[in-house]
Amino acid sequence: MTKNSFKSGFVGIVGRPNVGKSTLMNHLIGQKIAITSGKPQTTRNRIQTVYTDESCQIIFLDTPGIHRAKNRLGEYMDEVALTVLSEVDLILWLVEPSDFSGEGEKYIARQLKLARKPVILVMNKIDTVDRKELPRFMELYRKLYPFDEIVPVSALRNVNTDNVLEAVKARLPEGYPFYDEDTVTDQTMRQIAGEIIREKALRCLNDEVPHGIAVEICSMKERQKKKGSASVDGSAEDHKYEDPDTLWDIEANLITEKDSHKGIIIGRGGSMLKKIGIQARRGIEEMTGAQVNLKLFVKVRPDWRDNPQLMRTLGYDLKNRR
Ligand X SMILES: Nc1nc2c(ncn2[C@@H]2O[C@H](COP(=O)(O)OP(=O)(O)OP(=O)(O)O)[C@@H](O)[C@H]2O)c(=O)[nH]1
Q: Select 42 or 161, whichever has its Cβ closest to Mg ion.
A: 42
Candidate list 26, 41, 43, 124; residue touching Mg ion; CB under 5 A? 43
Give me the numbers of helices (H) and strands (E) for the chain, helices first please.
Answer: 9, 9
Q: Select 43 or 124, whichever has its Cβ closest to Mg ion.
A: 43
CB neighbourhood size of 207 (10 A): 9
Cα(297)–Cα(24) distance, rounded to whole angstroms?
A: 32
Contacting residues for 200 by C-beta, under 8 A, at least 6 apart: 276, 279, 280, 283
**Residue 26 binds Mg ion (CB under 5 A):** no
Query: Is 62:22 a contact under the CB 8 Å cutoff?
Result: yes
- Site for Mg ion (CB under 5 A): how many residues? 4
Q: Select 41 or 253, whichever has its Cβ closest to ligand X.
A: 41
Cβ 21 to Mg ion shortest distance, Å? 5
Cβ 260 to ligand X shortest distance, Å? 24
Cβ 305 to ligand X shortest distance, Å? 15
Cβ 262 to ligand X shortest distance, Å? 24
Q: Which does 49 bind (CB under 5 to 8 A by kind): Mg ion, ligand X, none?
A: none
Q: Which does 155 bind (CB under 5 to 8 A by kind): Mg ion, ligand X, none?
A: ligand X
Candidate list 13, 15, 20, 22; residue touching Mg ion; CB under 5 A? 22
Scanning 37-45, 48-56, 101-109, 191-199 for contacts with Mg ion by CB under 5 A, the matching segment is 37-45
**Residue 49 binds Mg ion (CB under 5 A):** no
Q: Select 67 or 169, whichever has its Cβ closest to ligand X.
A: 67
β-bridge partners, 299: 255
Closest CA to 117 of 172, 62, 160: 172
What three-state secondary structure class fits 55? Answer: coil
What per-residue string of b and e applies to 82-103 under the rule 16 or more CB within 10 Å gives b?
Answer: bebbeebbbbbbbbbbeeebee
What three-state secondary structure class fits 156? Answer: coil
**Residue least distant from ligand X (Cβ):** 65
Contact positions vs Mg ion (CB under 5 A) = 21-22, 42-43
